[in-house]
């Protein structure tokens, strides 16, 4: 496919790096330094303003299949998409942050020629809000339109997860599979003999129907009910309004007095505190130690890290942090943040999930692992073979959607045409995996 990306910032860069191996990617950015970062990739780079129709023609807009406008400027993104739709591009995606234009994480605006408007802040807030199904849960992402869920949780002493992976497998509910282990920021795909340790983060693919059973099995029956949000920007505000709807007792700390008033007027039950999230006495006063979950979502990474560590030290049960520089994710998790999320990454994921029409959908992009969702085509090499044996080391098949029904792949599972196969793989072997699904 021919893909045109406007904006080579965090989001644009991530999308380009995911797609350039298999697609023709053109990137436009007005900043020469940003353009220079793309030199290691096999992509065409144009420097300039993508809202300029002439530049878009030069970039080959007429033949593009997908346009993703992800610069930091809403108006430029919107205009780029509108121009693209005039040139007949069917799939256009605009990154939009201004709450006056968008009030949901992903919005369909076909009437003005934009297939999707995606707000990084809202996507991120939604992603964070979804991680509250049980106390130690860190991530819960819907895949394949909600038929399968990818979850991540932190292992605690109370959980019956002793023994090797093989032994644990028997205890897990049906249609649940451990796909990866994140140990102090290092991700690995577990082999049968690996053992799980406390504080490991497990990634599981599950049928949504077995989630209640999984929760019961993990002895995590209670739902979190006290949450603290540090930072009342777009992310904090939207997150608070989501948590309010879920019935949580929410406190939100924001530094700017004016902003405090603004969000206090719009939110209903959230207690807005005017102060600094790194102020120990304030955190103590407002009971940070009793929090089931703390979200550090200010715009500053250093502040988020400090708040997170402070909350952790005070005794908050679970800390999720926003990290604007994607490169810091591992570092954050290494020092004790339970999960660090970058808005660029979640947005790239949201965009990539919607780059449909190809044979695979990338649903989790991380420099440490990739979850790819393949549709087995008629002549794919993997057809008729038992998939577990075909996959290279450091990759693992998770679940398969056959005729819309999720099922587990045992050792002898053979792939049929039209199956939707979810494979977790280390970045080094992704290309090998992909070959299996091409003819």
User: What are the residues binding other proteins (CB under 8 A)?
Assistant: 257, 260-261, 264-265, 268, 271-275, 282, 285-286
For other proteins, give the closer residue by CB, 67 or 273: 273
For other proteins, give the closer residue by CB, 247 or 357: 247
Q: Which of 291, 369, 279, 293 is nearest to 337 (CA)?
A: 293
In the complex, the smallest distance separating the C-beta of residue 262 from other proteins, rounded to whole angstroms, is 10
Q: Is 24 helix (H, G, I), strand (E, B) or coil?
A: strand
For other proteins, give the closer residue by CB, 266 or 405: 266
What residues have CB less than 8 Å from 5, skipping those under 6 apart?
12, 15, 16, 25, 26, 27, 28, 67, 68, 69, 70
For other proteins, give the closer residue by CB, 221 or 285: 285
In the complex, the smallest distance separating the C-beta of residue 254 from other proteins, rounded to whole angstroms, is 8
In the complex, the smallest distance separating the C-beta of residue 284 from other proteins, rounded to whole angstroms, is 12
For other proteins, give the closer residue by CB, 44 or 259: 259
Long-range Cβ contact pairs of 405-409 (< 8 A, separation 24 or more)? 406/147, 406/148, 406/175, 406/207, 407/175, 408/174, 408/175, 408/177
In the complex, the smallest distance separating the C-beta of residue 291 from other proteins, rounded to whole angstroms, is 15
What residues have CB less than 8 Å from 27, skipping those under 6 apart?
4, 5, 6, 7, 8, 12, 16, 35, 38, 43, 44, 45, 46
In the complex, the smallest distance separating the C-beta of residue 236 from other proteins, rounded to whole angstroms, is 13
| β-pairing verdict for 319-322 and 339-341 | parallel
For other proteins, give the closer residue by CB, 227 or 421: 227
In the complex, the smallest distance separating the C-beta of residue 237 from other proteins, rounded to whole angstroms, is 13
The answer to whether 27 and 45 have CB atoms below 8 angstroms apart is: yes
Alpha-carbon span 318 to 414, nearest angstrom: 40
């Amino acid at each position: 496919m021919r893909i045109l990306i406007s904006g080579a910032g965090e989001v644009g860069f991530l999308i380009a790096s995911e797609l350039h191996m298999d697609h023709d990617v053109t990137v436009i950015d007005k900043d020469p330094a940003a353009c220079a970062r793309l030199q290691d990739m096999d992509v065409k780079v144009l420097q300039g303003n993508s809202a300029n129709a002439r530049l878009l023609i030069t970039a080959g807009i007429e033949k593009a299949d997908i346009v993703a406008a992800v610069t930091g400027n809403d108006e430029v993104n919107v205009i780029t998409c509108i121009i693209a739709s005039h040139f007949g591009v069917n799939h256009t995606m605009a990154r939009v942050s201004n709450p006056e234009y968008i009030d949901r994480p992903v919005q369909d605006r076909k009437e003005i020629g934009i297939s999707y408007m995606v707000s990084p802040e809202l996507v991120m807030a939604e992603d964070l809000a979804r991680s509250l199904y049980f106390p130690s849960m860190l991530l819960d992402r819907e895949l394949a339109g909600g038929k399968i869920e990818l979850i991540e949780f932190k292992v605690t002493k109370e959980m019956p997860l002793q023994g090797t992976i093989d032994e644990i497998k028997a205890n897990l509910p049906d249609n649940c599979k451990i796909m990866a282990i994140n140990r102090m920021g290092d991700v690995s795909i577990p082999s049968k003999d690996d053992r799980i340790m406390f504080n490991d983060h497990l990634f599981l693919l599950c049928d949504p129907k077995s989630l209640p059973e999984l929760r019961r099995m993990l002895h995590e029956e209670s739902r979190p009910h006290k949450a603290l949000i540090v930072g009342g920007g777009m992310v904090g505000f939207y997150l608070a309004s989501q948590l309010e709807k879920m019935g949580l007792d929410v406190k939100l700390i924001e530094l700017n007095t004016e902003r405090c008033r603004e969000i206090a007027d719009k939110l209903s039950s959230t207690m807005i505190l005017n102060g600094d999230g790194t102020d120990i006495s304030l955190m103590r006063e407002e009971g940070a130690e009793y929090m089931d979950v703390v979200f550090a979502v200010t715009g500053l990474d250093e502040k988020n890290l400090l708040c997170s560590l402070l909350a952790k030290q005070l005794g908050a049960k679970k800390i999720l942090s926003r990290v604007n520089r994607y490169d810091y994710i591992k570092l954050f998790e290494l020092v004790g943040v339970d999960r660090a999320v970058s808005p660029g990454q979640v947005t790239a994921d949201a965009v990539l999930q919607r780059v449909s029409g190809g044979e695979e959908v990338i649903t989790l992009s991380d420099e440490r692992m990739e979850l790819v969702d393949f549709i087995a085509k008629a002549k794919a090499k993997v057809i008729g073979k038992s998939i577990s044996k075909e996959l290279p080391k450091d990759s693992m098949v998770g679940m398969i959607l056959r005729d819309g029904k999720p099922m587990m792949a045992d050792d002898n599972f053979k792939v049929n045409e039209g199956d939707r196969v979810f494979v977790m793989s280390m970045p080094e072997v992704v290309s090998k995996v992909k070959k299996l699904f091409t003819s």
